[in-house]
Each structure stands twice: as structure tokens, then as C-alpha cells.
Amino acid sequence: MQSDDVIWSLVGKTFCSFRVKITTGNFCKNPYNLTGICARRYCPLANSRYATIIEKEGDCFLYLKTIERAHLPNAQWEKVKLSNNYKKALEQIDEKLRFWPHYLKHKAKQRLTKIKQYLIRKKRLQFKLRSKLVPVHNKVERRDRKKEKKALAMAKLDKRIEEELLSRLRSGQYKDIYNFPVAQYEAVLEQDNVSERETMEFEEDYESDDESEEQLEEELYEDVESEAEQVNVQQTRLNDIEDSHMTADNSIFDDDSTIQEEVNEGKDPKDVLKKRWSRKAFKQDRSSRATSKRSRSRSGRREFEYEFEDERLIQKD
């Protein structure tokens, strides 16, 4: 039969592997300890009736220990999953620990609140941007820099040797030697062919560009000539209209001596011209009416008019 007092007399006074002694007090490293303090009330080994809360992967669980399962160490702790909702989890603790000591219930609730706060802070830190520390291997980097320098020097040397051999070959220094390495020889031939193709394509593109530019210049020249012709035609028309107006104005002044005299006296030429044009329009309207009447009349009517005019002339004489 398990006796809590006997266990505490052995564990609490002699030796316990979970105890940690410091200047401020004794602490317990047992994972099932409710508060982390080494005391008779909170020791999970010396209490046959015990309850604690443990967090695993973001979920909280209520662990219960009863004396009925003391003979079964494998099934000694009853595991109850608590809800993620804080209020519902507190209600579950109250329901499961209804007839338990008050201090166990109170400490279990305190432990639950601390775990919930810790999980909230953990989620906030996951969304924040933080600098990541990366280890620096100085020896490896130094070794890689040395290798890069050596490889660069060898590459430059190979290029210089290749350029020197090509220059000698092109200058004709190796006249009757044909035992070149096949791979290098083909690579050089491909480079020459590629350069010739590029030059040919560049020349073709340049010629096509010249032709297109010439066509554009011709089209622009034709457009400019057509526009100049149109402008000249319009200018000639305007000049003709101005000449006709000037001749009409001169004829007005020449025909009517009275209007000329009025202009010479100092009257406004615009008023004089308006009078002249109104008179001319009245005369034209009158002549058009007379011609229409004459065309409607018969031949006998015309003879009568002619006779009437002759009589009027005779009376004047």
C-alpha cells in the first residue's frame, strides 16, 4: 500500500534526483510538477491524488493521478484534452476537479493561463520578420578564394596561349603543319564562321535600313511637293479674287465721277462704296426684271416700245 508520508520522508529529506537547490530555494525538474517548486504539497511523487496541465504541440492536456491506479504505473495518469477556447477549458477543469482540493484547482487554472499566453506570444513571433544568424566558415571561404584565383590565372594563361597560336597560324608561320587538335581546330572554325555570318547579317540589315530610309525620304519629298502645289494653287486663286475686287472698285470710281468727288472731299470711302454697290444692285435687278418682261411680251409689243422711244427722242430734238 502507498504511503505519501513515507515517500516524502525519503524523497524530501534524503535525496531526490529531480530536486535543484539554489540560494533562493529548491525547485523540481519533474515534468508532472504543477508549479515547479519542491514542496510536500506540489510533489507529484509524494501525492497519490494529483493533477497537472501539460502542453504538447500547441494543445493543452489535463493529467489526473488517483490512488486506484497506483499499482499500474503504465496507466497511472489519466489524460484529458482541453478545448482551445480558454473559457471552455476552465469549465472542463472545474468539472473534472469538482471534489478536489481548492489549491490544486487554482494552480491548474494559473498554469493553463500561463501556457495560453505563451502560445499567443509564440504565434506573434512567428509572423514577425527577424534576422537569421548564419554560421561563417572562414577556413572554407579562404580555401575557395584561393581556388578561384588559381582557376582564373589558368584560364587567362590558356586564353593567351590560344590567342598566340591563332595569331601565328593566321600570319602563316605554320605553313606545312596540319596535325592540329581536332576539337580546338573545329572550335576555331566555328568561331570564324559565326563571325562571318554576323558580319553578313549586319551588312544586310544596314542595306535594308538604307533602302527603307531612301523610300521614306522620297515619300516625304513627294508629300512636300504636293502640298506646295496645293498652296500655290490656293495663292493664285486668292490673288485672282483680290485683283477682281480691285478692278471692280476702280471701275466704280472711274465710272461714277460724283462718288470720286465725294471721296476726294473727305468722306468715308466705305460709305461711298456701299452707296455704289446698292445702286449697282438696284440697276441689275431692274434690268433683269425688264429683260424678263421683254421676253414674255410679243413681237408687236416690242415694235410699240421701239416706236415710243423714237417719238421720245424726236421730242427731245
- Report the C-alpha gap between 267 and 263 in whole angstroms: 5
Burial 100-127 (b: 16+ CB within 10 A, else e): eeeebbebbbebbeebeeeeeeeeeeee
pLDDT tens-digit readout, 17-41 = 999 999 888 999 999 999 999 999 9
Give the mean model confidence (pLDDT) for residues 279-288.
60
Q: Is 216's pLDDT higher than 80?
A: no
Q: Which CATH architecture has domain 4-127?
A: 2-Layer Sandwich (3.30)
Residue 316's pLDDT band (cuts 50, 70, 90): very low
pLDDT tens-digit readout, 90-129 = 999 999 999 899 999 999 999 999 999 999 999 998 888 8
Give the mean model confidence (pLDDT) for residues 194-206.
63
**Comparison of pLDDT for 87 and 3, the residue scoring more:** 87
- Report the C-alpha gap between 106 and 97 in whole angstroms: 10
Q: Are 70 and 129 in contact (CB under 8 A)?
A: no
Give the mean model confidence (pLDDT) for residues 197-210.
63
Q: Which of 166-175, 194-203, 282-291 has the lowest mean pLDDT?
A: 282-291
At 163 the pLDDT is 80
